[in-house]
Amino acid sequence: MGGVSLGGLALAALCAGWVDAVIGGGGLILVPVLLAFVPGIAPVGALATNKAVGVTGTLSAAVRLLAHTRPKGKLLPILVVVAGLAAAGGALVAGLFPAHLMRPIVIVLLLSAGIVVVMRPRFGQSACVKTPTVLALLGLGAVVMALGFYDGIFGPGTGMFLIMALTAVLGGDLVRSAAMTKAINAATNLGALAVFIAGGHVVWKLALVLMVANIVGAQLGARTVIAGGARLVRVALLIFVVVMASYLGWMQWGSGVMG
């Protein structure tokens, strides 16, 4: 692989790290680039390598954002473990859930989440943290488990759905929810990555180089979130809904790709 190609891949990994730190979805940048510019790489190899690269950036963004928001209590560690185990389970059975059956459901959920944010301008803008009931916490745990499983089998939109669920149940602003989401997302990436590693699908020589660029991008993204606050996360969330729904819609009905 030439220096120009490797430089382009590193730039893509940096951009993916920034996007992942701000709202999630960096894989939409890096996976197609890997497939286009790495000769002979299989789709599963691109997905596995993207997970290996993305988990480092997500972890670094989580550390920075959590240091800024300082969430308290034992809830986050519990959610992290639940999500990681669920993602590993999802990755094991990923072949049983064809993408063309998943996309329409995800599009509807994305648009529904976007409508909620538009109709509720104050959603995620308050610093006031709720004291949820036991039933609400159990519901949140179930949602996080489901999203972890979903991230293992498909993935697009997981970060945004986590931000919405955490904000709805726990309150606080979107920056706090984004910080917790990064930690949970890191766990889901690790869970799925463990399955890919066991299958020998990660292109490690390439992944180790791109990890550095991804971490740089993630740190820049974390700084962007901290500087922009809840308003920036809200705008990024709405942009993500439009871009992701359009992309999945094109994949489902416009590209002829039904796999």
Q: What pTM was computed for the model? A: 0.88
CA dist., res. 184 & res. 162, Å (int): 8
Q: Are 33 and 8 in contact (CB under 8 A)?
A: yes
pLDDT 10s digits, 146-198: 999 998 887 778 888 999 999 999 998 899 999 999 999 999 999 989 988 99
pLDDT 10s digits, 40-93: 888 888 888 998 999 999 999 999 999 999 888 899 999 999 999 999 998 888
Instruction: Assign 2 a pLDDT band (cuts: 50, 70, 90).
Output: low
Please state the rounded mean pLDDT for residues 7-26. Answer: 91
pLDDT 10s digits, 213-254: 999 999 999 999 999 998 899 999 899 888 888 888 887 887
Q: Of the ranges 5-14, 37-46, 144-153, which one carries the lowest mean pLDDT score?
A: 37-46
Q: Which of 67, 61, 8, 56 is nearest to 32 (CA)?
A: 8
Radius of gyration of the chain from its Cα atoms, rounded to whole angstroms: 17
Please state the rounded mean pLDDT for residues 15-20. Answer: 92
**Residue 75 buriedness (CB in 10 A; 0-12 / 13-18 / 19+):** middle
Residue ranges of domains in the chain: 3-254
Q: Which of 60, 45, 51 is nearest to 27 (CA)?
A: 51
